[in-house]
Amino acid sequence: MTHLDETYSTLRDCWIAGGQGSQVAPAEWRPLLTDDPDTDERRLLAIASQAFEVGLRPALGTHTTRPPLPPLARPVVAERMRPLVRRVLAAERTADRVLDLLDRRGCTMHPLDWFPGGSDADLPEVYRPWQEWARETAGRPVTTVHPDDDLDDADDWDHLYPSARRWLLRRLRASDPPAARTVLDQHFASVQAAERLGLLEVVGQTGLCDDDVPFLESLATDRSGKVKTLSRQLLMRLGHLEVDPDDLAELCTFVTVKKKVLLPTTVSPTKTKTDVLRRRRDQLFATTGFADFATALGISRDELIDGWRLGDHSATTALVEMVVATGTCDDAAHLAKVLLSKHTTGRNQNHHTYLATPLAARLDTAAHVAVLTALPQLGLWAVHQWVGERAATFGDVADVSWLSTAAFAQLCGTNDPIDVASANTLALMCPPDVAATIAERAREAGVGPHYLDMFTLSAELAHPTEGA
């Protein structure tokens, strides 16, 4: 009887060296060969593959039995659409935006096209059973999270992993804020620093109000410097933290305010002569509240934003970070409009868009739409940079007046260069019917099909299970 492991190794080495497998085939296999060398090689390859897959399987004692893959609460995307989904996934750097789009259209990925690992990533909740399955098969602790679970039991909290705690805390903050604060008071100090920071970010993103002040003040002695910094910023955002007047006065020396009759107020960053002064200025921006800064300068917050001179990118970056950390959502939207309005002028047009990008995290979808509507001159790349990962949320917005922007014209026929990621962003921002219309017009204008895959997918997902 032929030893399959030796035969397989011999054939493999022969093929790697460029030889003919028929010359080293065992006697038991030769009756299957013919006079055609190509046919012989294909037959030997098939037999060797069969040997590798079946004859050389490990002994049963080394096998582990996996539980069946659990079904999800929503249907899998239609079979006819899977090739399109795979093409879109290949064009995207990560699966996040595609998952969000499918989730908002009421369907899920096919497990052979994409499958989550057992990591702590924040995925759409519908994929939680698959995450749990992956964790179980990898031998990691598993906790089944149900939509009706609450974080009001110590045992439940101890058995939840970090992403589940953040997800359930976010939902509890929306439905029962006092209960959410009670949970934080009981369990916040018992988790690691990275998780405490993530939970505190949830607090800042979900209905931050004066009732959160006692909890935030209790973090002044937290073991993590990042947690203490974020808690101070949230307190400043609420106006419940007094800033050192000496720090405010020192920060004001780094800018020059000019007020003239009948002319707009200007706020110009003072040029720093040394790196030490620049680092000190940035430190003061990071530890001072935006509203307090405007008050100390004797101007309103809108005057500070409108009058800010953009020549010093380092100082502007510090101002952006200050507004992100301690400003209101209206402040963030206002500053974003000022920065993005500079995109089409000057040598540093792209830099202004990069500067505005952190502000996007402070705005909801409606505010994003308002910014884009106010700036119809933004090109496709600028829209992509500004909207980023939030693009899929735009499909829920009925008002598509922002589609009059230059980005739409750039996609549908101008000679300006475009890229697939930017085109995908525009597609994700469109309701299904609008995506279908844009795809049709773009094809008529000669736009390549690879730029339009996301538009087609968005339109087709209006009927996700049709033809499945």
Q: What is the pLDDT of residues 195-231, one digit of tens each?
A: 899 999 999 888 888 899 999 999 988 889 999 999 9
In this structure, is residue 409 part of a structural domain? yes
Q: Is the pLDDT of residue 261 over 70?
A: yes
In this structure, is residue 326 part of a structural domain? yes
Q: How many CA atoms lie within 13 A of 322 on its CB side?
A: 25
Is 351 or 100 the better-scoring residue by pLDDT?
100
- What are 287-299's pLDDT values in tens digits? 899 999 999 999 9
Q: Tell me which of 311, 333, 359 is where a domain ends.
A: 359
pLDDT score recorded for residue 343 = 61
pLDDT score recorded for residue 346 = 45
- What are 330-350's pLDDT values in tens digits? 999 999 988 888 765 444 556
In this structure, is residue 13 part of a structural domain? yes
Asked whether residue 168 falls in the same domain as residue 208, the answer is yes
Asked whether residue 201 falls in the same domain as residue 109, the answer is no
pLDDT score recorded for residue 324 = 92
Is 183 or 262 the better-scoring residue by pLDDT?
183
Measured distance CA(212)–CA(404) in Å, rounded: 41
Count other Cβ atoms within 10 Å, centred on residue 446.
8
In this structure, is residue 182 part of a structural domain? yes
pLDDT score recorded for residue 345 = 47
Question: Which residues share a beta bridge with 108?
Answer: 76
Q: Rounded mean pLDDT of the chain?
A: 82
Asked whether residue 174 falls in the same domain as residue 190, the answer is yes
Domain count, the chain: 4
Q: Is the pLDDT of residue 25 over 70?
A: yes
- What are 347-403's pLDDT values in tens digits? 455 677 888 888 888 888 788 888 888 887 777 788 888 887 777 777 666 666 767
Mean pLDDT of 400-409: 70
Q: Is the pLDDT of residue 304 over 90?
A: yes
Measured distance CA(426)–CA(104) in Å, rounded: 16
In this structure, is residue 109 part of a structural domain? yes
pLDDT score recorded for residue 144 = 54
Q: Is the pLDDT of residue 414 over 60?
A: no
Asked whether residue 193 falls in the same domain as residue 255, the answer is no
Asked whether residue 329 falls in the same domain as residue 432, the answer is no
Asked whether residue 412 falls in the same domain as residue 337, the answer is no
Asked whether residue 297 falls in the same domain as residue 196, the answer is no
In this structure, is residue 160 part of a structural domain? yes
Mean pLDDT of 239-247: 86
pLDDT score recorded for residue 280 = 93
**Could you write out the three-class secondary structure of the chain?**
CCCHHHHHHHHHHHHHCCCCHHHCCCHHHHHHCCCCHHHHHHHHHHHHHHHHHHHCCCCHHHCCCCCCCCCCCCCECCHHHHHHHHHHHHHCCCCHHHHHHHHHCCCECCCCCCCCCCCCCCCCHHHHHHHHHHHHHCCCCCCCCCCCCCCCCHHHHHHCCHHHHHHHHHHHHHHCHHHHHHHHHHHHHHCCHHHHHHHHHHHHHCCCCHHHHHHHHHHHHCCCHHHHHHHHHHHHHHCCCCCCHHHHHHHHCCEEEEEECCEEEEEEECCCCCHHHHHHHHHHHHHCCHHHHHHHHCCCHHHHHHHECCCCHHHHHHHHHHHHHHCCHHHHHHHHHHHHCCCCCCCCHHHHHHHHHHHHHHCCHHHHHHHHHHCCCCCHHHHHHHHHHHHHHHHHCCCCHHHHCHHHHHHCCCCCCCCHHHHHHHHHCCCHHHHHHHHHHHHHCCCCHHHCHHHHHHHHCCCCCCCC
| Greatest mean pLDDT range, 104-108, 121-125, 252-256 | 252-256
In this structure, is residue 127 part of a structural domain? no
Asked whether residue 454 falls in the same domain as residue 382, the answer is yes
With 0.85 as the threshold, say if the pTM is over it. Answer: no
pLDDT score recorded for residue 294 = 92
Is 382 or 59 the better-scoring residue by pLDDT?
382
Asked whether residue 232 falls in the same domain as residue 263, the answer is no
Asked whether residue 271 falls in the same domain as residue 335, the answer is yes
Q: Tell me which of 36, 62, 88 is where a domain ends.
A: 62
Mean pLDDT of 28-45: 84
Asked whether residue 97 falls in the same domain as residue 173, the answer is no
Give residue 23's domain range: 4-62
Tokens representing residue 16 in the block: 């790697």
pLDDT score recorded for residue 141 = 58
Measured distance CA(115)–CA(238) in Å, rounded: 41
Q: Tell me which of 214, 238, 262 is where a domain ends.
A: 238
pLDDT score recorded for residue 339 = 87
Asked whether residue 212 falls in the same domain as residue 249, the answer is no
In this structure, is residue 212 part of a structural domain? yes
Share of the chain above pLDDT 70, in %: 86
- What are 423-451's pLDDT values in tens digits? 888 888 888 888 888 888 888 878 888 88
